[in-house]
Amino acid sequence: MIIVFGHQKGGTGKSTLTVNMAVELQRQGKDVLLVDADPTIRTTSNFTTDREEAGLPSLQSVQKSGSLHKFLEEFRPKFDHILVDVPGKDSKEMRTALTAADMLISPTRATQADLDAVAGLLETVEGAQDFNENLKSMLVLNFVSSNVFTKEREEAQSYLEDFPRVRLAETVLHQRKAFADCLADGKGVVEMRDAKAKAEIQLLTQEVFTWGHP
């Protein structure tokens, strides 16, 4: 499966989610390729380097920018899964990757600025579906407060459920220190001590692949 992690707004946590799902898939014994398609911020490439230097199981990664369709189709049969981290904006990388992808995953903060950006993102998705009618898209609420008294989760879910042709993930990712620490350590949260962060990534991965392969 080819999965693109993208949004039209930066700071949504797409790179962190990309590497964490990659590590979980690796833990399951899958052959994974990470494609760092953000030419300005090499978060995923830096993560794989840190991971290798820490003596952890290496993840295959490659840097690629510009048009991605031909590249992704060429590498599709060589890996179980290809995870593509594109720039946090409307870009050539995102648009061309979506024409080859099976799924777009868009982590989204529960802030008004992030929620407002979803409409533009879904216009890009609809454009890609003109060329790739099987493309699926999923929104994932990310960095959600774990404070039981806040209503941001419910309000964001209510807002996002009104968008057609996109699935809102049942799994919610909360604001946890482990998600910030994992990048510097070259680890996925599934390899760390935070059981709640680990469970969230595992549940989201299960949800993604259950929906992607019904």
Each residue of 165-190: pLDDT tens digit?
A: 788 899 999 999 999 899 888 999 99
CB 40 within 8 A of CB 87: yes
Residue type, 146: S
User: From the first residue on, what is the mean pLDDT of each consecutive set of 10 residues in the chain (214 residues)?
Assistant: 92 93 97 93 90 93 95 97 93 95 92 83 88 92 76 76 80 93 92 96 96 73
- The number of domains in the chain is 1
- Domain CATH for 66: 3.40.50.300
Residue 30 is encoded by which pair of tokens?
Answer: 């899958």
pLDDT, residue 121, reads 86
- 52-73 pLDDT per residue, tens: 999 999 999 999 999 999 999 9
User: Which structural domain range is residue 99 located in?
Assistant: 2-212
